[in-house]
Amino acid sequence: MAGGRSALYLGASRLGDGRLDHEGSARLADAFMHAGFDGVDTSNNYTEGRSEALLGAAISSAGSVPDGVALSTKADADPVTGAFDGDRVNRSFEESTQRLGVDRLPLYLLHDPYSITVKEAMSSGGAVEALVQLRGQGLVGAVGIAAGPLPLLAEYLATGAFDAVLSHNRFTLADRSAAGLFADARARGITVVNAAPFGGGILAGSAASAGRYAYRPASAALLRWVGRLGDLCASAGIPLAAAALDFSLHHPDVDATVVGITSLQRLQELRGLVNTPVPEELRLAIAELGDPPGNPP
Ligand SMILES: NC(=O)c1ccc[n+]([C@@H]2O[C@H](COP(=O)([O-])OP(=O)(O)OC[C@H]3O[C@@H](n4cnc5c(N)ncnc54)[C@H](OP(=O)(O)O)[C@@H]3O)[C@@H](O)[C@H]2O)c1
Protein backbone atom coordinates (compact mmCIF):
# COMPACT_ATOMS: atom_id res chain seq x y z
CA MET A 1 0.00 0.00 0.00
CA ALA A 2 1.24 3.48 -0.91
CA GLY A 3 -0.10 6.34 1.24
CA GLY A 4 -2.89 4.17 2.65
CA ARG A 5 -4.02 2.92 -0.73
CA SER A 6 -3.07 0.07 -3.02
CA ALA A 7 -0.64 0.72 -5.85
CA LEU A 8 -2.33 2.15 -8.95
CA TYR A 9 -1.32 0.76 -12.35
CA LEU A 10 -2.40 2.21 -15.67
CA GLY A 11 -3.88 -0.44 -17.96
CA ALA A 12 -2.64 -0.25 -21.56
CA SER A 13 -4.92 -2.85 -23.14
CA ARG A 14 -6.40 -0.27 -25.52
CA LEU A 15 -3.21 1.64 -26.25
CA GLY A 16 -2.75 1.50 -30.03
CA ASP A 17 -6.32 0.37 -30.72
CA GLY A 18 -6.76 2.98 -33.44
CA ARG A 19 -8.91 5.48 -31.60
CA LEU A 20 -5.91 7.86 -31.51
CA ASP A 21 -3.54 8.51 -34.41
CA HIS A 22 0.05 7.36 -34.03
CA GLU A 23 1.22 10.67 -32.56
CA GLY A 24 -1.63 10.71 -30.06
CA SER A 25 -0.90 7.12 -29.05
CA ALA A 26 2.79 7.94 -28.63
CA ARG A 27 1.92 10.94 -26.43
CA LEU A 28 -0.37 8.75 -24.33
CA ALA A 29 2.36 6.10 -23.97
CA ASP A 30 4.76 8.84 -22.77
CA ALA A 31 2.14 9.99 -20.30
CA PHE A 32 1.71 6.42 -18.97
CA MET A 33 5.39 6.46 -18.04
CA HIS A 34 5.49 9.94 -16.54
CA ALA A 35 2.06 10.17 -14.89
CA GLY A 36 3.47 9.53 -11.43
CA PHE A 37 1.43 6.36 -10.86
CA ASP A 38 2.94 3.13 -9.59
CA GLY A 39 2.92 0.89 -12.62
CA VAL A 40 1.83 0.14 -16.17
CA ASP A 41 0.12 -3.11 -17.19
CA THR A 42 0.25 -4.45 -20.74
CA SER A 43 0.43 -7.82 -22.50
CA ASN A 44 2.07 -9.43 -25.50
CA ASN A 45 -1.24 -9.60 -27.36
CA TYR A 46 -2.75 -6.21 -26.50
CA THR A 47 -3.55 -4.44 -29.78
CA GLU A 48 -1.44 -7.07 -31.54
CA GLY A 49 1.77 -5.91 -29.89
CA ARG A 50 1.27 -2.19 -30.53
CA SER A 51 0.64 -1.50 -26.84
CA GLU A 52 4.05 -2.90 -25.89
CA ALA A 53 5.75 -1.25 -28.89
CA LEU A 54 4.33 2.19 -28.01
CA LEU A 55 5.37 1.77 -24.37
CA GLY A 56 8.80 0.63 -25.56
CA ALA A 57 9.22 3.81 -27.60
CA ALA A 58 8.24 5.87 -24.53
CA ILE A 59 10.75 3.97 -22.39
CA SER A 60 13.42 4.49 -25.03
CA SER A 61 12.88 8.26 -25.14
CA ALA A 62 12.93 8.37 -21.33
CA GLY A 63 16.21 6.41 -21.36
CA SER A 64 14.79 3.75 -19.03
CA VAL A 65 11.61 2.87 -17.18
CA PRO A 66 11.15 5.84 -14.82
CA ASP A 67 11.91 5.21 -11.15
CA GLY A 68 8.86 4.15 -9.21
CA VAL A 69 7.07 2.68 -12.26
CA ALA A 70 6.62 -1.10 -12.13
CA LEU A 71 6.20 -2.57 -15.59
CA SER A 72 3.97 -5.59 -15.91
CA THR A 73 3.39 -7.61 -19.07
CA LYS A 74 2.06 -11.05 -19.86
CA ALA A 75 2.88 -14.17 -21.82
CA ASP A 76 0.27 -14.99 -24.46
CA ALA A 77 -0.52 -18.07 -26.47
CA ASP A 78 0.77 -18.21 -30.04
CA PRO A 79 -1.73 -16.01 -31.93
CA VAL A 80 -1.86 -18.40 -34.89
CA THR A 81 -1.66 -21.91 -33.45
CA GLY A 82 -2.89 -21.31 -29.89
CA ALA A 83 0.21 -23.16 -28.61
CA PHE A 84 0.99 -22.20 -25.03
CA ASP A 85 3.86 -24.40 -23.92
CA GLY A 86 7.25 -23.52 -22.45
CA ASP A 87 8.76 -22.65 -25.83
CA ARG A 88 5.90 -20.28 -26.52
CA VAL A 89 6.32 -18.58 -23.11
CA ASN A 90 10.01 -18.04 -23.85
CA ARG A 91 9.23 -16.62 -27.31
CA SER A 92 6.49 -14.43 -25.87
CA PHE A 93 8.97 -13.13 -23.27
CA GLU A 94 11.55 -12.36 -25.99
CA GLU A 95 8.94 -10.55 -28.12
CA SER A 96 7.74 -8.51 -25.15
CA THR A 97 11.16 -7.54 -23.81
CA GLN A 98 12.28 -6.60 -27.33
CA ARG A 99 9.27 -4.39 -27.93
CA LEU A 100 9.55 -2.82 -24.48
CA GLY A 101 13.33 -2.49 -24.71
CA VAL A 102 13.93 -3.96 -21.25
CA ASP A 103 15.93 -6.98 -20.07
CA ARG A 104 13.95 -7.75 -16.99
CA LEU A 105 10.33 -7.54 -15.87
CA PRO A 106 9.32 -7.01 -12.24
CA LEU A 107 6.00 -8.81 -12.83
CA TYR A 108 5.29 -11.31 -15.61
CA LEU A 109 1.96 -13.09 -15.86
CA LEU A 110 0.55 -16.08 -17.69
CA HIS A 111 -2.30 -14.48 -19.61
CA ASP A 112 -5.70 -16.06 -20.25
CA PRO A 113 -4.39 -19.65 -20.67
CA TYR A 114 -7.63 -20.91 -22.17
CA SER A 115 -6.13 -23.05 -24.94
CA ILE A 116 -4.46 -25.43 -22.45
CA THR A 117 -5.44 -27.31 -19.30
CA VAL A 118 -3.82 -26.58 -15.95
CA LYS A 119 -2.27 -30.06 -16.16
CA GLU A 120 -0.68 -29.19 -19.51
CA ALA A 121 0.52 -25.84 -18.18
CA MET A 122 2.14 -27.59 -15.18
CA SER A 123 3.73 -30.42 -17.18
CA SER A 124 7.43 -30.75 -17.94
CA GLY A 125 8.19 -28.39 -20.84
CA GLY A 126 4.97 -26.54 -20.06
CA ALA A 127 4.20 -22.85 -19.67
CA VAL A 128 4.60 -22.64 -15.90
CA GLU A 129 7.98 -24.36 -15.84
CA ALA A 130 9.22 -21.74 -18.32
CA LEU A 131 7.89 -18.89 -16.18
CA VAL A 132 9.55 -20.31 -13.09
CA GLN A 133 12.82 -20.68 -15.01
CA LEU A 134 12.66 -17.05 -16.11
CA ARG A 135 12.24 -16.10 -12.46
CA GLY A 136 15.14 -18.39 -11.49
CA GLN A 137 17.35 -16.68 -14.08
CA GLY A 138 16.50 -13.29 -12.55
CA LEU A 139 14.80 -12.13 -15.77
CA VAL A 140 11.44 -11.87 -14.04
CA GLY A 141 10.78 -10.66 -10.51
CA ALA A 142 7.39 -12.17 -9.67
CA VAL A 143 5.37 -14.63 -11.75
CA GLY A 144 1.62 -14.32 -11.86
CA ILE A 145 -1.53 -15.79 -13.31
CA ALA A 146 -4.05 -13.49 -15.02
CA ALA A 147 -7.46 -14.70 -16.19
CA GLY A 148 -11.19 -14.28 -15.87
CA PRO A 149 -12.80 -17.44 -14.46
CA LEU A 150 -12.25 -17.65 -10.69
CA PRO A 151 -12.14 -21.49 -10.47
CA LEU A 152 -9.33 -21.46 -13.04
CA LEU A 153 -7.37 -18.87 -11.05
CA ALA A 154 -7.89 -20.91 -7.87
CA GLU A 155 -6.60 -24.04 -9.60
CA TYR A 156 -3.46 -22.24 -10.75
CA LEU A 157 -2.87 -20.70 -7.31
CA ALA A 158 -3.25 -24.13 -5.68
CA THR A 159 -0.13 -25.26 -7.57
CA GLY A 160 1.95 -22.99 -5.34
CA ALA A 161 3.96 -21.78 -8.36
CA PHE A 162 2.70 -18.19 -8.45
CA ASP A 163 3.70 -15.03 -6.61
CA ALA A 164 0.81 -12.93 -7.94
CA VAL A 165 -2.75 -13.20 -9.21
CA LEU A 166 -4.63 -10.80 -11.49
CA SER A 167 -8.41 -10.98 -11.67
CA HIS A 168 -10.59 -8.53 -13.58
CA ASN A 169 -14.11 -7.17 -13.23
CA ARG A 170 -14.84 -9.52 -10.31
CA PHE A 171 -13.92 -7.28 -7.41
CA THR A 172 -15.82 -4.07 -7.95
CA LEU A 173 -18.74 -2.26 -6.38
CA ALA A 174 -21.00 -4.30 -8.67
CA ASP A 175 -19.38 -7.76 -8.48
CA ARG A 176 -17.52 -9.03 -5.40
CA SER A 177 -17.18 -12.64 -6.55
CA ALA A 178 -13.36 -12.57 -6.29
CA ALA A 179 -13.47 -11.61 -2.58
CA GLY A 180 -12.77 -15.16 -1.33
CA LEU A 181 -9.99 -15.79 -3.85
CA PHE A 182 -8.31 -12.50 -2.97
CA ALA A 183 -8.56 -13.10 0.79
CA ASP A 184 -7.08 -16.61 0.40
CA ALA A 185 -4.30 -15.31 -1.85
CA ARG A 186 -3.40 -12.54 0.59
CA ALA A 187 -3.38 -15.00 3.48
CA ARG A 188 -0.81 -17.06 1.51
CA GLY A 189 1.39 -14.05 0.76
CA ILE A 190 0.40 -13.90 -2.93
CA THR A 191 0.25 -10.39 -4.44
CA VAL A 192 -3.31 -9.46 -5.45
CA VAL A 193 -3.81 -7.35 -8.57
CA ASN A 194 -7.37 -6.15 -9.15
CA ALA A 195 -7.96 -5.07 -12.75
CA ALA A 196 -10.98 -3.25 -14.17
CA PRO A 197 -12.43 -1.57 -11.06
CA PHE A 198 -14.92 0.20 -13.34
CA GLY A 199 -16.21 -3.11 -14.71
CA GLY A 200 -14.81 -2.10 -18.10
CA GLY A 201 -16.26 1.43 -17.93
CA ILE A 202 -19.89 1.38 -16.73
CA LEU A 203 -18.93 2.30 -13.14
CA ALA A 204 -17.03 5.32 -14.45
CA GLY A 205 -20.00 6.45 -16.51
CA SER A 206 -18.27 5.69 -19.81
CA ALA A 207 -20.79 6.15 -22.65
CA ALA A 208 -18.98 3.41 -24.57
CA SER A 209 -19.89 0.95 -21.78
CA ALA A 210 -23.50 1.99 -21.23
CA GLY A 211 -25.61 -1.12 -20.59
CA ARG A 212 -22.53 -3.34 -20.46
CA TYR A 213 -20.51 -4.90 -17.66
CA ALA A 214 -17.19 -6.67 -18.18
CA TYR A 215 -17.40 -6.28 -21.97
CA ARG A 216 -20.83 -7.88 -22.40
CA PRO A 217 -24.44 -6.84 -21.93
CA ALA A 218 -25.35 -6.33 -18.28
CA SER A 219 -28.39 -8.01 -16.71
CA ALA A 220 -31.38 -5.86 -15.82
CA ALA A 221 -30.70 -6.59 -12.11
CA LEU A 222 -27.14 -5.33 -12.43
CA LEU A 223 -28.22 -2.19 -14.26
CA ARG A 224 -30.78 -1.48 -11.52
CA TRP A 225 -28.03 -1.99 -8.92
CA VAL A 226 -25.69 0.41 -10.71
CA GLY A 227 -28.56 2.91 -10.90
CA ARG A 228 -29.03 2.72 -7.12
CA LEU A 229 -25.30 3.13 -6.57
CA GLY A 230 -25.29 6.14 -8.87
CA ASP A 231 -28.17 7.69 -6.90
CA LEU A 232 -26.39 7.15 -3.57
CA CYS A 233 -23.19 8.71 -4.92
CA ALA A 234 -25.06 11.62 -6.47
CA SER A 235 -26.81 12.40 -3.20
CA ALA A 236 -23.40 12.38 -1.45
CA GLY A 237 -21.98 14.66 -4.18
CA ILE A 238 -19.33 12.06 -5.12
CA PRO A 239 -18.82 10.74 -8.65
CA LEU A 240 -19.69 7.04 -8.96
CA ALA A 241 -16.25 6.56 -10.57
CA ALA A 242 -14.54 7.89 -7.42
CA ALA A 243 -16.49 5.46 -5.24
CA ALA A 244 -15.72 2.57 -7.62
CA LEU A 245 -12.02 3.38 -7.53
CA ASP A 246 -12.05 3.89 -3.76
CA PHE A 247 -13.54 0.40 -3.30
CA SER A 248 -10.46 -1.23 -4.84
CA LEU A 249 -7.76 1.28 -3.90
CA HIS A 250 -8.60 1.13 -0.20
CA HIS A 251 -9.44 -2.53 0.16
CA PRO A 252 -7.00 -4.35 2.47
CA ASP A 253 -6.92 -7.45 0.22
CA VAL A 254 -5.80 -5.54 -2.89
CA ASP A 255 -2.11 -4.81 -3.52
CA ALA A 256 -2.50 -3.13 -6.91
CA THR A 257 -5.47 -1.77 -8.86
CA VAL A 258 -5.31 -1.57 -12.68
CA VAL A 259 -7.42 1.10 -14.41
CA GLY A 260 -7.79 1.15 -18.20
CA ILE A 261 -6.77 4.48 -19.71
CA THR A 262 -7.72 5.45 -23.26
CA SER A 263 -6.70 9.12 -23.50
CA LEU A 264 -4.84 11.98 -21.85
CA GLN A 265 -8.20 13.30 -20.71
CA ARG A 266 -9.00 10.00 -18.93
CA LEU A 267 -5.59 10.17 -17.26
CA GLN A 268 -6.30 13.67 -16.02
CA GLU A 269 -9.72 12.54 -14.77
CA LEU A 270 -8.06 9.64 -12.96
CA ARG A 271 -5.91 12.08 -10.98
CA GLY A 272 -9.08 13.86 -9.90
CA LEU A 273 -10.75 10.58 -8.91
CA VAL A 274 -7.76 9.40 -6.85
CA ASN A 275 -7.79 12.72 -5.01
CA THR A 276 -11.53 12.65 -4.29
CA PRO A 277 -11.98 11.50 -0.71
CA VAL A 278 -14.95 9.19 -0.33
CA PRO A 279 -16.74 9.86 2.96
CA GLU A 280 -17.11 6.94 5.37
CA GLU A 281 -20.89 7.54 5.41
CA LEU A 282 -21.05 6.87 1.66
CA ARG A 283 -18.96 3.71 2.04
CA LEU A 284 -21.38 2.55 4.75
CA ALA A 285 -24.45 3.44 2.70
CA ILE A 286 -23.02 1.41 -0.21
CA ALA A 287 -22.29 -1.51 2.14
CA GLU A 288 -25.89 -1.33 3.36
CA LEU A 289 -27.11 -1.99 -0.19
CA GLY A 290 -26.02 -5.59 0.46
CA ASP A 291 -24.39 -7.97 -1.99
CA PRO A 292 -24.45 -6.84 -5.61
CA PRO A 293 -26.08 -9.20 -8.10
CA GLY A 294 -22.96 -9.80 -10.25
CA ASN A 295 -23.55 -10.47 -13.94
CA PRO A 296 -24.21 -14.16 -14.44
CA PRO A 297 -24.16 -15.30 -18.08
N1 LIG B 1 -6.99 -11.05 -18.37
C2 LIG B 1 -6.31 -9.95 -18.03
O3 LIG B 1 -5.13 -10.00 -17.75
C4 LIG B 1 -7.00 -8.61 -18.00
C5 LIG B 1 -8.37 -8.51 -18.30
C6 LIG B 1 -8.98 -7.26 -18.23
C7 LIG B 1 -8.23 -6.14 -17.89
N8 LIG B 1 -6.89 -6.26 -17.64
C9 LIG B 1 -6.06 -5.07 -17.32
O10 LIG B 1 -6.82 -4.15 -16.57
C11 LIG B 1 -6.92 -2.91 -17.27
C12 LIG B 1 -8.25 -2.27 -16.96
O13 LIG B 1 -9.31 -2.98 -17.56
P14 LIG B 1 -10.43 -2.27 -18.44
O15 LIG B 1 -9.87 -1.06 -19.09
O16 LIG B 1 -11.02 -3.29 -19.30
O17 LIG B 1 -11.54 -1.86 -17.38
P18 LIG B 1 -11.76 -0.64 -16.35
O19 LIG B 1 -10.47 -0.17 -15.83
O20 LIG B 1 -12.80 -1.10 -15.39
O21 LIG B 1 -12.46 0.46 -17.27
C22 LIG B 1 -11.71 1.28 -18.08
C23 LIG B 1 -12.61 2.06 -18.99
O24 LIG B 1 -13.40 2.97 -18.24
C25 LIG B 1 -13.55 4.18 -18.95
N26 LIG B 1 -13.07 5.25 -18.06
C27 LIG B 1 -11.88 5.34 -17.44
N28 LIG B 1 -11.82 6.46 -16.72
C29 LIG B 1 -12.99 7.09 -16.91
C30 LIG B 1 -13.52 8.30 -16.44
N31 LIG B 1 -12.81 9.11 -15.65
N32 LIG B 1 -14.78 8.65 -16.82
C33 LIG B 1 -15.50 7.84 -17.62
N34 LIG B 1 -15.03 6.68 -18.13
C35 LIG B 1 -13.78 6.31 -17.76
C36 LIG B 1 -12.67 4.14 -20.18
O37 LIG B 1 -13.46 3.90 -21.34
P38 LIG B 1 -13.70 5.05 -22.44
O39 LIG B 1 -12.54 5.97 -22.39
O40 LIG B 1 -13.85 4.29 -23.70
O41 LIG B 1 -14.99 5.75 -22.02
C42 LIG B 1 -11.78 2.93 -19.92
O43 LIG B 1 -11.47 2.23 -21.08
C44 LIG B 1 -6.66 -3.25 -18.74
O45 LIG B 1 -6.18 -2.16 -19.48
C46 LIG B 1 -5.61 -4.33 -18.59
O47 LIG B 1 -4.35 -3.74 -18.35
C48 LIG B 1 -6.28 -7.47 -17.67
Q: How far is it, in rounded angstroms, from Cα 254 to Cα 155?
A: 20
| pLDDT for the residue 295 | 75
| pLDDT for the residue 258 | 98
| pLDDT for the residue 294 | 76
The verdict on the CB of residue 199 being under 6 Å from ligand 1 is yes
Mutual angle of helices 220-236 and 240-249, in 10-degree steps: 100
The verdict on the CB of residue 17 being under 6 Å from ligand 1 is no
The verdict on the CB of residue 258 being under 6 Å from ligand 1 is yes
Residue nearest to atom 5 of ligand 1 (CA): 168
Which of 45, 198, 216, 271 for a ligand 1 pocket mutation test, highest count of atoms within 8 Å of Cβ? Answer: 198
| pLDDT for the residue 208 | 92
The verdict on the CB of residue 147 being under 6 Å from ligand 1 is yes
The verdict on the CB of residue 256 being under 6 Å from ligand 1 is no
Residue nearest to atom 43 of ligand 1 (CA): 260
| pLDDT for the residue 4 | 77
| pLDDT for the residue 2 | 46
The verdict on the CB of residue 175 being under 6 Å from ligand 1 is no
pLDDT tens string for the chain (297 positions)? 445 799 999 999 999 999 999 999 999 999 999 999 999 999 999 999 999 999 999 999 999 999 999 999 999 999 999 999 999 999 999 999 999 999 999 999 999 999 999 999 999 999 999 999 999 999 999 999 999 999 999 999 999 999 999 999 999 999 999 999 999 999 999 999 999 999 999 999 999 999 999 999 999 999 999 999 999 999 999 999 999 999 999 999 999 999 999 999 999 999 999 999 999 999 999 999 998 987 766
Nearest to 9 by CA among 71, 99, 74, 65: 71
Q: What is residue 94's three-state secondary structure?
A: helix
pTM above 0.95, yes or no: yes
Residue nearest to atom 47 of ligand 1 (CA): 11
Q: Using the Cα atoms of residue 199, residue 203, residue 204 and residue 210 in order, give the sign of their dihedral.
A: positive
For the chain, list the domains and their CATH numbers.
7-288 (3.20.20.100)
| pLDDT for the residue 158 | 98
Q: How far is the CA of 90 from the centre of ligand 1 (A)?
A: 28
Q: How far is it, in rounded angstroms, from Cα 72 to Cα 70?
A: 6
Q: Work out the end-to-end distance of the chain between its first and last CA atoms, rounded to an integer number of angstroms.
A: 34
The verdict on the CB of residue 204 being under 6 Å from ligand 1 is yes
Q: How far is it, in rounded angstroms, from Cα 237 to Cα 278?
A: 10
The verdict on the CB of residue 200 being under 6 Å from ligand 1 is yes
Which of 96, 111, 206 for a ligand 1 pocket mutation test, highest count of atoms within 8 Å of Cβ? Answer: 206
Q: How far is the CA of 51 from the centre of ligand 1 (A)?
A: 14
